[in-house]
Structure 1
Amino acid sequence: MSTQTASSAAPAAPAAEEKTGRSLTLIAVLLAVFVVPMSISGTAVALPDIGVSTHAELAPLQWVVNAFNVAFACFTLVWGSVADIIGRVKAFAAGAAIYAAASLASAFATDVLWLDAARALAGIGGAAIFSCGAAIVSTIFEGPARAKAFAYFGTVAGVGVALGPSLSGALVQTLGWRWVFAVHAIALVVVLIAVPAISKAMPVTRSTGARIDFAGSALFVVAMVLLTTAIVQGSQWGWGSVGVVALFAGAVVVLAVFAFVENRREHPMLDLSVLRNRRFVGLCLVPVAGSIGFVTMLTYLPSYLTAVTGRDTGAAGLIMVLLTAPVLVCPMLAAKLVTRGVSALTLIYVSLACLIVGDVALTLFSPDIAIAVVAVPMIVTGAGMGLAAGLVDGQALEQVDPAKAGMAAGFLNTLRLGSEAIAVAVYGSALATVLGSNITDGIGAHAGASHAARVASQAAGGDLARAAEVSGATDRQGFLDFLTQAYDSAFHAVLWGLAVACLVLCAVVFALLRGGARRVTGRTS
C-alpha cells in the first residue's frame, strides 16, 4: 500500500515544481513588463523638476522622454531576432540588466545630456524586456493557460500605462525625481534574481547554426532612428520642413535597402516570409488601431478637459479613470470568455468596433457637457483597447513557427510602439493645424487681438488663459470664450478623423484575418 502511494505520488512532485517555475517566471516577466510602460507614461511628470535641477533647456529636456521611445522602437525587433539565436532567457536577462544599469545611471545624472543618454540605454533594455518577455510567455504556456497568461500581460501593461503618472508624481513630490528611476532599477534587480528560475522553466529554444544579422540590425536601427526622429521633430520643425522631409526620405531609402539585404540572407533579422502570413499581419495591425483610437485620447483628452471644460488637473485625472479602467479589467474578461468557447477573433472584432463607436461617441464632448453623458463612450473606447490587449499577442505568436516567436514578438511590439508615437504626433500636429486655422479666421473679429501664430501655439498646448493674454485682446473674457470654441471645434474635427482612420484600418484587419493562413513555419524559396 505504501509502495503504491509513493510511486503514484512521485510524478506529482516534478509537475508541481514545473507549475511553480512557470508561475514564478510569469511573475518576474510581468514585473519587468510593468516597469517599461510605467516609465513611458510616468517620466514626463518628472520633467519640470528635472529641468530645474539640471538647468536644462526645452529641447534636451524633451529628449528625456523621446530618447527612451526612439531607442525602444529601434531595438524591439532587433532583440526579438537576437533572442531566437542566443536564447530568450539570456536576451531577457540582458535587457533587464541594461535597464537596471541605465535607470541607476539616470538616478545619478548630473546634467540633462547624461540623462538623455541613460534614457536611450534604458529604451534598449526595455525593448528586450517586451520582445523576449512575450516570447517566453508564449513558449512556456499552452492552450487556455497561454490565453490567461497573455491576459495578465496585457493587464499589467495597461496598469503600468495608467498608473505611471500617478506613481511617478507621488515619488517626485515625496522623494524627488531621481527616485522615479531608482525604483525602476530596484524592480529590475528583483527580476534579475528570478532569472535562474526562469531558465529552469524554459525549454531550449536557441536556433542552431544561426548567426546574428548585424547588417540587417544596423540598417533597421538606422531606418527607425530616422523615422522616429522625423515623427518626434515633425511638430517642432514643421511636417513640410526640409529637415523632416529629408528624415522621412532617408528612412524610406534605408528600409528599401534593409528589405533587399534581408531577402538575400540565410538567417535574416526579419524573415520577410512571415509577412506573407495575412493572419499574422492582420493581428499585428490590431494594436495600431488601439494607438489611433485609444492612445491619442489617453494623451490629449486631459488637455481638453482642463482647457475647454475648465476642470482642474485632479478632476481631469479622475475622469480619465473611465477611459483607463476597462484596460485593467477587459484583458482578463477576454481570457475567461475564450476559455468558455468564445472565439478570440470575435473578441478582437468587438474590440475594433468599440474603438470606432467610442471615438464617434466622444464627439458628444462639449464645454458644458455632463460627465455622465460621455461616461459610456469613454468606457467603450477603453474596452476597445482592453479586450485586445494581451489576447492579440497570444493569437499573433500562434501564427508563426515557435522558433521565431522572438522575432514575431519584436515585430508586433515595433508596430505597437511605433504606431503610438506616430498617432500621438500626428494628432498633435493635426490639432495644432486646425486650431491655428480657426484662430486665424476668427481673430480679426476681436478688438486689439493679434499675433495669431503665437496665440495658436500657446492654445495648442492647452493654456488658453495665457493665449488670451498673449493676444492683447481688449475683451479678454470674450476672446477666451472664442479660444474655447476654437479648441472645441478643432478637437471634434480631429476626433472624426481618428474615427475614420480606425474604420479604414479595421476594414484592412478584417480583410487580412478573414482569409489569412494559420502558420508560416519557414522561409519559402
Structure 2
Amino acid sequence: MQQTAPARQGLTLAVVLLAVFVVPTSISGTAVALPAIGADLHAGSASLQWVVNAFNLAFACCTLVWGSLADRIGRVRAFTIGAAIFTAASVACAVTPHVYVLDAARAVAGIGGAAIFACGSAIISTAFDGAARAKAFALFGTVAGIGVALGPTVSGPAVDGLGWRWIFGLHAIALALVLLCLPAVARTVEEPRDTGAPRLDLRGAAVFVLAMLALTYAIVQGSQWGWTAPGTLGLLVVALVLLALFTAHSRRTEAPLLDLSVLRNKAFLAYCLVPVAASFGFVTQLTYLPTYLTTVAGHSPSAAGATMLLLTLPVLALPLAGAQLVQRGTPATAVILASLGFLVVGDLALLLLGPDTSTLAMAVPMLLTGAGMGLSAGLVDAQALALADPAKAGMAAGFLNTLRLGSEAVAVAVFGSAVAGLAAGRQGTGTSPAAAYDSAFHTLLWAMAAVCAALAAAVVTLARGERRA
C-alpha cells in the first residue's frame, strides 16, 4: 500500500483524533449537565438517566455494523457519515424543547459515535504502517483517555458560563470542523476496497443489533429491576437466542456482517480480551471510586476529583510509552501482559483503602491501576488490527470496540448492582452506611482482581496461537 506524505498523514491523524476526543468527552461530560437539564426541561430522574444510557446503548449496538459497512463503502466515507450523524444529533440536542427529544437525539449521536470509533481505528490502520502506526494508535488511546478525563472539566464551566445546551453545541462545532477537513483526508488515504463487494448483510445486522439491544438494555436496567427479575432474565434469554441465530446465519452467509474466520485467529482474540480486563479492573474504579472517596473517606467532591487524577494520569502518559517500548524491541505481548499484571496488582493494592487512608498511601494503588489501563491503550488496537486482513480492518475494529464498550457496560452495571446489594445487606445487620459501602467495595475489589487474573490467563493461552490472518 502506497504511503501518504507525512504532512497528509498528520492531517489524517489530527482529524480522526479530534473526532475521537469528542466522543468520550460527550459521554463523561454530559453527566455533569444532568441537573441543569432536569431543571430546565422539568425532567425526572429516569428520563434524565437515558440522556447517558441512550448514547451508550446505541453505541454498543452499532459499532460492529459500522466496521463491516466501512469495509464495503470505504473507511473515510463511513467515518464522514458517522461524523455528520453525530453533528446533526448534537445540534438537535442543543435546541431540543423536551427531554424525550433529547433522549432520542442522544441515541442518534451514539450511532454516529460508533462510526467514529470503529471507522477511525480502521482509517489509522489503513493510513499508517510500522512504527508510525504504533505511534498513531498510542495517540488514539491517549486522546480517548483525555476525553474521558477532561469531559467533566470542560463541561462544568460550559454549563456554568454558557448553559447546558452549549455542551452539545461545542460537540457540533468540533465535528463540523472535522467534516470540513474530511474531503482532504479522503484524497490522501488509499483504501483496500473492492468496488464489487457485496452489500451489507442487512439480515445479520438486524439480528445482531437486536441481540445487543436486548443484552445492553438488560444490563442497564438489571440494577433497577433486579438481576433475577423476569424482565431481566427474559431479555438475557432473548439476547442469547439472537446471538445464536446470528452465529448460525454468519456461517451460512457468503458475506456476513462478522466473518467468523477473523475470530479463528487466537492472537487476535487475545488482544480483544485486554480491553475487557481493563473494563473490569479500571473502568469500574473510575466510575465508583469517587463515590467511595466521598461516602467512606469523607472527601469533598472537588478533593475526590483531584485525587482521581492519580488514576487517570497514567492513562494520559503511558500509551506513548508502551508504543516506544515495542519500537525498541520489547515484545508487544510482554507490554500487554505487564499492563494486565498492573491491573491485578493495582486492584488488590486498592484493598488498602480505608476511611483514614491518606492521599499519599492511595497513590501507589491508583497509579498501578491507571498504568494497567494506560500501557495497553492504543497498543491493543494496533496489534489486533495488524493481525487482521487489511480488507477486513473495519470489521475487526468494529468487533474489538464492541467488546470494549459492551464489557464496560457489563462491568459498571454488575459492579454497581453488587456494591448496592452487598451494602444494603450489611446495613440490615446494623452496620452504618459508610462502613457497609466500605466492606462491599472491598469485596468487589477481590472479585475484579480475580476477573482480571482469569482474563490475563486467557490472553496468555490464546496468544500462543499467534498467526497472521
TM range (shorter): over 0.9
The residue type paired with residue 201 of structure 2 is: D
State how 1:23-102 maps to structure 2 within 5 Å: 23-102=10-89
Q: Aligned pair 1:516/2:456, yes or no?
A: no
Question: Corresponding residue for 2:162?
Answer: 175
Q: SS state of the match for residue 195, structure 1?
A: helix
> 2:222 is matched with which residue: 214, 221, 234?
234
Q: Deviations over 1:483-525 (max 9, x none)?
A: 2221111111111111111111111111111x223222xxxxx
Alpha-carbon distance, 1:371 to partner: 1.2
Q: Distance in 2 between matches of 1:402 and 1:263?
A: 21
Tell which structure's C-alpha radius of gyration is larger.
Answer: 1
Greater relative CO (CA pairs within 8 A, separation 6+): 2
Alpha-carbon distance, 1:110 to partner: 0.7
Contact 1:95 1:125 in 2 (8 A): yes
Alpha-carbon distance, 1:200 to partner: 1.5
Q: Distance in 2 between matches of 1:512 and 1:206?
A: 30
Q: Distance in 1 between matches of 2:358 and 2:182?
A: 50
Alpha-carbon distance, 1:30 to partner: 0.1
Q: Aligned pair 1:483/2:439, yes or no?
A: no
Question: Corresponding residue for 1:328?
Answer: 316
Q: Distance in 2 between matches of 1:161 and 1:230?
A: 25
Q: Aligned pair 1:405/2:393, yes or no?
A: yes
Q: Aligned pair 1:396/2:384, yes or no?
A: yes
* Paired residue total: 467
RMSD: 1.1
Q: Distance in 2 between matches of 1:20 and 1:115?
A: 39
The residue type paired with residue 459 of structure 2 is: V
Q: Aligned pair 1:193/2:185, yes or no?
A: no
Question: Corresponding residue for 1:275?
Answer: 263
The residue type paired with residue 391 of structure 2 is: A
Contact 1:323 1:381 in 2 (8 A): yes
Contact 2:63 2:115 in 1 (8 A): yes
Contact 1:88 1:205 in 2 (8 A): no
> 1:496 is matched with which residue: 446, 452, 457?
446
> 1:349 is matched with which residue: 321, 324, 337?
337
> 2:108 is matched with which residue: 88, 98, 121?
121
Q: Distance in 1 between matches of 2:116 and 2:434?
A: 43
Q: Deviations over 1:453-509 (max 9, x none)?
A: xxxxxxxxxxxxxxxxxxxxxxxxxxxxx2222111111111111111111111111
Q: Distance in 2 between matches of 1:359 and 1:209?
A: 46
Question: Corresponding residue for 1:469?
Answer: none
Contact 2:282 2:370 in 1 (8 A): yes
Contact 1:152 1:390 in 2 (8 A): yes
| Unaligned segments of structure 2, at least 5 residues | none
Contact 2:126 2:191 in 1 (8 A): no
- TM-score, structure 2 as length reference: 0.98
Q: Distance in 2 between matches of 1:220 and 1:79?
A: 12
Question: Corresponding residue for 1:337?
Answer: 325
State how 1:426-505 maps to structure 2 within 5 Å: 426-442=414-430, 482-505=432-455
Q: SS state of the match for residue 123, structure 2?
A: helix
| Runs of 4+ that moved beyond 4 A | none
| Percent identity of paired positions between Structure 1 and Structure 2 | 60
